[in-house]
Chain A
């Protein structure tokens, strides 16, 4: 049974990854290209300034892949592999939830677990450390930003699991509605404490000025940033939505007993 669940989860994740890739290729890639163009323009302005003031210009590093490869093949590989990994994690979580979550239909449970994955792995960490396009983020702080981001992901997933457990514990005493509200409130409070305790990073480039304070290159375009973040949320919504919706009917067929054989052969 667990193998059937895992393979179905991986399949759902791969399909979700393909959808997310198509979405990203159409909507995100132009924004990413604008961000990279900004970064290059800014770098040129910076080295012109540095030369004017007699500083050594920063050296450019050569990329092993062209933009065309990064924006098509690389983006596809990244999103589909991510989808497969999330589908596999989803399947593990789904298998562990089976029989431990009360009277929930298999397909409803699929949507609940997928929603949990979206919240715990992506959306809650995003609220603290939102996705950033290229050109935002200093190379020197990558270690800190990486560490705190993963810490945030770990904390939100952990809190979500504990919230589910707490809700189940409180349900006999307070009823489903109130138990869910209490457990949800505990989740929000615990997450808020962690978010307040962790450091913030605001590394969006400001306008570049020369020694007289005259602006020689604009700050990072706000529209590009807001579109990029909106589309980032959209892609994850598509990915997790597809995982839940593709897995749901498969789970229903796999787990609902007493269905007519015709339904199985669909």
Chain B
């Protein structure tokens, strides 16, 4: 990157700084876990939409295939 002040040959020299970065990383991780939950778990062992099974039935094959327990 052009914004790097000191070119160096040492590998992976960056430590992510700052609280804004933490916010991005935590937010991304939480969103990713939410997607993981809806693809793999919801409307099976637990359900946030009550008895509805549309998500479960739609991603049914993928859920089995990705290794999640299913009905």
Contact = CB atoms under 8 A, between A and B. Distances in A.
Interface residues of B, number: 47
B16 A98 contact: yes
B7 A257 contact: yes
A92 B66 CA distance: 21
Given A88-B31, A130-B67, A139-B71, A79 B53 contact: no
A contact patch SS: helix
B49 interface: no
A137 interface: yes
Interface string A49-88: 0000000000000011100011101110111011011101
Contact of A89 (B12, B29, B41, B65): B29
Given A89-B29, A257-B1, A132 B69 contact: yes
Interface stretch (A144-152, A166-174, A179-187): A144-152
Interface of A: 1-3, 6, 24, 28-29, 32, 63-65, 69-71, 73-75, 77-79, 81-82, 84-86, 88-89, 91-92, 95-101, 103-106, 108-109, 122, 125-126, 129-134, 137, 139, 142-143, 145-147, 149-150, 228, 231-232, 235-236, 254-255, 257-258
Interface of B: 1, 4, 6-16, 21, 24-25, 28-29, 31-33, 35-36, 38-41, 44-46, 53-54, 57-71
Given A32-B61, A88-B31, 7 more contacts: A2-B16, A24-B62, A65-B54, A129-B67, A132-B64, A132-B70, A258-B7
30 contacts: A1-B16, A3-B24, A28-B65, A32-B65, A63-B57, A64-B54, A65-B58, A70-B57, A70-B61, A71-B61, A74-B62, A77-B59, A77-B62, A86-B32, A89-B28, A89-B36, A92-B32, A95-B16, A98-B14, A106-B12, A129-B69, A131-B66, A132-B70, A133-B64, A134-B64, A134-B70, A145-B69, A149-B68, A255-B13, A257-B7
